[in-house]
Amino acid sequence: MSQSEGPTRRPPRSLASMQVDVTTRLGALTPASPTGLPILDRMLGGGLRTGMMFGLLGPAGIGKTALSLTLAYMAARSKAAVVFASATLDETEVVARLAARALHREEPDSTTTYGQIWTGEAWSGATRNLVTLAVDTVAKKVGSHLHLHKADPYESTQALRRAAGELWDRHERVVLVVDGLEAFSAHCGGDPERTQSANAGMPSRMAAVAFELRRLAERGCAVIVTSGSGFADSVSPALSFYAEMRGLESSGVPLSERAVSLGARPVDLVVKKNTIGRTGIVPLRFIAGAATFEERAP
């Protein structure tokens, strides 16, 4: 078989031969995993569903990691089994970010940042007990459903498939969050020539990784990926949904003194591709110190 032909997994099937199977699957969709952002949930028909692949694209520092981790947390809160995979964040930073979010929800006057929790600064003095309680809250709410996967640089999508596959037999809903698509490489079904070709250049590699993850979504999970804006043309064809994160000037957007102290700033989530619903803007407020997002009034 020539390389251009590619491996044949199964022959084409007529619609008549698959009608019963497809109709059964249409009537047995798994529940959606809500994102915690009502406007976005409405755009997604209730939230993230099995077979969907949602891309968050934007420049460095805009909050892609924070938003993807927020979505992972909310999916885990809804009892979905979640894998959060990253080649850059280790477990201590992930827990520090989630603890900061919990702390600021439980203690609205707190100005403790996730950086202070991560570096250990917040573990001494008056904030120690509050931070300990915040970590305990995170463990209690999502500890059994949120799974962390520290990836190696340029790790294959095969490792992500294994991580998600371990959860399929035990959970009705599985969500895979891949933070930083640039750090992964394509597996291409184990074909060395196709893998080498796909990974030859960055745009080609990004496209191959995106389609590998799309196939993984179709096997039984929802997938969220983050990437830089410059790779939109390579990644977006594989995505069910595609949103670009854009920072706004804070002038004219009311922010409290505490929010300013935590580095809060307005961000628009611009949904550019949506295979089942409308596109548009989800207005957000990124509270950087608390590593979280909330919807704001348009």
Cα separation of 153 and 11, whole Å?
A: 36
pLDDT of the residue at 5: 42
Q: What number of CA atoms fall less than 13 Å from residue 134's CA on the CB side? A: 28
Query: Which phi and psi angles does 166 have, rounded to 5°?
Result: -65, -15
pLDDT of the residue at 215: 93
Q: Are residues 270 and 281 in contact, defined by beta-carbon separation less than 8 angstroms?
A: yes
pLDDT of the residue at 27: 56
pLDDT of the residue at 23: 67
Helix, strand or coil for residue 110? Answer: coil
Cα separation of 205 and 150, whole Å?
A: 20
* DSSP string across 30-94: PPPB--S-HHHHHHTTSSB-TT-EEEEE--TTSSHHHHHHHHHHHHHHTT-EEEEEESS--HHHH
Tokens 């935590």, located at residue: 262
- Tens-of-pLDDT digits for all 298 residues of the chain? 334 444 445 688 888 887 777 666 655 567 899 999 999 999 998 999 999 999 999 999 999 999 999 999 999 999 999 999 999 999 999 999 999 999 998 888 888 999 999 999 998 888 999 999 999 999 999 999 999 999 999 999 999 999 998 898 889 899 999 999 999 998 755 555 555 555 568 888 899 999 999 999 988 899 999 999 999 999 999 999 999 999 987 656 565 666 667 788 899 999 999 998 899 999 999 999 999 999 988 7
- Residue 41 bridge partners (DSSP): none
107: CB partners within 8 A, 6+ apart: 130
pTM of the model: 0.87
Residue 122 exposed, middle or buried by CB count within 10 Å (0-12, 13-18, 19+): buried
pLDDT of the residue at 109: 84
Q: What type of residue sits at position 216?
A: L
pLDDT of the residue at 88: 93
